[in-house]
Amino acid sequence: MAPFFRHVIATFVGVTCTASAVTFTIPSQAHTGNYQYAPVDPAPVGISFEFFAFPSYLTNVTATTTCLSNWRDLTGVWPPIRIGGTTQDRALYDAQTSAYVVYTVANPADAPASLTFGSSFMTLAAKYGGSVVVGLNRGKNNIQNTISAAKAAVSAMGNLLAIELGNEPEYYPSNGQPIAAGSWTPAIDAASQNNWALSVGSALNRRDIIQAGNSNDSPPKWGAAELIATQNATVKQYIHDYAHHNYPGGTITSLMSHSGISRNLHVFDADVAAALKEGKQYIFGETNSVSGGGAASVSPSFGAALWTMDYVVRAAYSNISRTYFHHGTVGNCQYCFWGRNGIHGKRGVSHGP
């Protein structure tokens, strides 16, 4: 944490000074100078990979390893990664296949409507030097399949930090997910999350293993406080942390507003406090500038890069322990930090938005 922060805050202060001639004294040691410090990670900036695209990022996109190891050089640790997204709820585990993932798409820019994955998916994730969160399926309502996948993850991955049970469950009805057939509300989802956390956690015989929540719709309707209020001690023992997704959207100008960033993050204050009260971390399991892969006129720009820098520091100050920046379909992703053909921030800097 220390090296990362020294670098980023120094850069940030440089930018701030130029703009408004404000100076800050940066304490040389933590817990001095009357600042309140958040319980953040050594490397609070992480990367999220869309589930089906993860093997391709790791095996077919050379910039992945280069960029991740550049982050490691900056912070001293490999950045945390999370594998998940909409396609985690379209994926089923197939213990028989030797392939990482099996799917077909009409166009390479598309995400698959369904896919299967094998145990090699987990052994690939196990090779990563940093911590990994794996997002598994709840939407298809096939808990035995998810338990098999979770067992494969636990047995293969010494670097497994947590398992998600479903992604953005508020969209299950519109996505036609079987688990939401009938009716689906925050309360029904919470009961489902709790039952699944109990069943999967006890099948694995592992406490502190589930990354719960994972909604995108704003709290308090969907969020950690709402979910925690439904959980008893038996369920809570299986929860590792509470996660939410956050895509502020807007324009380059609105993203670059520091007060806009603060306002955006204050939406999560009660949820962060609720998670910390349980002694659990609160994180952004999936985040980036504009939802749905980003916007061509906003996301691959220098202004969005400045937003990223201010946003991650401000999020850490709000006691959000990690922020995982989402990387979607390779070749169709405006907000990705990198892709098959290069580093996106660089393109934004050279050519502008």
> Could you say which of 131, 167, 194, 281 contacts ligand NAG (CB under 6 A)?
194
> Could you say which of 62, 114, 218, 234 contacts ligand NAG (CB under 6 A)?
234
* Choices 14-22, 55-63, 131-139, 297-305; region in contact with ligand NAG by CB under 6 A: 55-63
Return d(Cα 334, Cα 282) in angstroms, integer: 27
CA angle 45, 92, 336 (to 5 degrees): 30
> Could you say which of 40, 204, 235, 315 contacts ligand NAG (CB under 6 A)?
235
DSSP state letter for 282: E
48 binds ligand NAG (CB under 6 A): no
- What are the tokens at 129? 């030097």
Instruction: Tell me the per-residue interface mask from 4 to 33 with ligand NAG, x by CB under 6 A, - otherwise.
Output: ------------------------------
> Could you say which of 9, 38, 74, 126 contacts ligand NAG (CB under 6 A)?
38
> Could you say which of 20, 29, 36, 104 contacts ligand NAG (CB under 6 A)?
36
For residue 207, which amino acid is it? R
On whether the CB atoms of residues 283 and 324 are closer than 8 A, the answer is: yes
CA angle 61, 63, 64 (to 5 degrees): 75
Size of residue set near ligand NAG by CB under 6 A: 16
62 binds ligand NAG (CB under 6 A): no
Comparing CB distances to ligand NAG, the nearer of 263 and 351 is: 263
* Choices 190-198, 217-225, 243-251, 305-313; region in contact with ligand NAG by CB under 6 A: 190-198
Distance of CA 339 to CAs 53, 58, 103, 299, 344, Å?
Answer: 11, 11, 21, 14, 7
For residue 325, which amino acid is it? F
Comparing CB distances to ligand NAG, the nearer of 120 and 291 is: 120
Q: How large is the angle between the packed helices 344-351 and 302-317, nearest 10 degrees?
A: 130
Cα R_g (the chain), whole angstroms: 20
Segment 86-125, which members bind ligand NAG (CB under 6 A)? 100
Comparing CB distances to ligand NAG, the nearer of 30 and 349 is: 30
Position of tokens 């959000």?
A: 320
Instruction: Tell me the per-residue interface mask from 256 to 295 with ligand NAG, x by CB under 6 A, - otherwise.
Output: ----------------------------------------
Return d(Cα 261, Cα 271) in angstroms, integer: 17
Return d(Cα 226, Cα 271) in angstroms, integer: 8
- What are the tokens at 62? 């050379």
* Choices 23-31, 51-59, 161-169, 239-247; region in contact with ligand NAG by CB under 6 A: 51-59
3-state secondary structure of 62: helix
Return d(Cα 315, Cα 91) in angstroms, integer: 31
Return d(Cα 124, Cα 292) in angstroms, integer: 26
Comparing CB distances to ligand NAG, the nearer of 99 and 296 is: 99
Return d(Cα 269, Cα 199) in angstroms, integer: 30
> Could you say which of 28, 183, 232, 259 contacts ligand NAG (CB under 6 A)?
232
On whether the CB atoms of residues 328 and 50 are closer than 8 A, the answer is: yes
> Could you say which of 6, 24, 59, 181 contacts ligand NAG (CB under 6 A)?
59
Comparing CB distances to ligand NAG, the nearer of 162 and 235 is: 235
> Could you say which of 319, 323, 329, 334 contacts ligand NAG (CB under 6 A)?
319
Which positions touch ligand NAG (CB under 6 A)?
Answer: 36, 38, 55-56, 59-60, 100, 194-195, 198, 232, 234-235, 317-319
